[in-house]
Structure 1
Amino acid sequence: MAFVVTDACVRCKYTDCVAVCPVDCFREGPNFLAIDPDECIDCSLCVAECPVDAIFPGDEVPEQYRDYIVLNAELAKSWPPITERKAPPDDHAEWASVNHKIKLIER
């Protein structure tokens, strides 16, 4: 099962994970990253690179973030690939510890 980007990424959008992905499975939205489950090879390199612990194996996503499994697959179909690291949004530090941000995802 593919890896899943969850709540901590919303409005933080660090892209350290993108730089280590060997298959370019990350997709970029305005304020969130998603993983294309059809492209992910389950290498787990991205997990250690995420400074806010937003990425989980699909079968280990915490219960409160299970909606992100379907959401990643959905968003990956319409968002473009991101293949290089970018600076996070200016206000990323303010959002890093905020929970329950799924409704803030801009499509």
Structure 2
Amino acid sequence: MAHVVTDACVKCKYTDCVDVCPVDCFREGPNFLVINPDECIDCTLCVAECPVEAIYSEDDVPENMQEYIALNAELSQIWPPIVEKKDPLPEHEKWALVSGKKNQIER
């Protein structure tokens, strides 16, 4: 079972999670991170590191964010790996409080 990055990450892109991932399964898009479900070993280390609580176990993804399961799988095949922590996006504090941001994902 894999973990899934959801709505709270969009336009924030905190990368604290990347530093603790033992298998480097995170992928980076312009304004969002995803997890490659084929590489995630379900260690849960990333969950506690996310300051906006954007990462869930696949079985625990809230009903209104189920589409992020397929989105992580899709985008993880396209986007490059990210293996080192970076600064969050410039307006991360503002966007961290916004929900329903799927339409804001830049591909």
Normalised by the length of structure 1, the TM-score is 0.99
The RMSD of aligned alpha carbons is 0.3
Aligned-pair CA distance for 1:59: 0.6
Unaligned runs of 5+ in 1: none
**Alpha-carbon separation, structure 2, partners of 1:48 and 1:89:** 20
**Alpha-carbon separation, structure 1, partners of 2:82 and 2:95:** 21
**Alpha-carbon separation, structure 2, partners of 1:82 and 1:44:** 18
Instruction: Tell me what 1:25 maps to.
Output: 25
Instruction: Tell me what 1:58 maps to.
Output: 58
2:7 is the counterpart of 1:11: no
Normalised by the length of structure 2, the TM-score is 0.99
Instruction: Tell me what 2:98 maps to.
Output: 98
**Alpha-carbon separation, structure 1, partners of 2:91 and 2:104:** 14
Aligned-pair CA distance for 1:104: 0.4
Aligned-pair CA distance for 1:35: 0.1
Q: Structure 1 vs Structure 2: percent identity of aligned residues?
A: 69
Aligned-pair CA distance for 1:90: 1.0
Unaligned runs of 5+ in 2: none
Instruction: Tell me what 1:47 maps to.
Output: 47
* Number of aligned residues: 107
Q: Which runs of 4+ in 1 moved over 4 A?
A: none
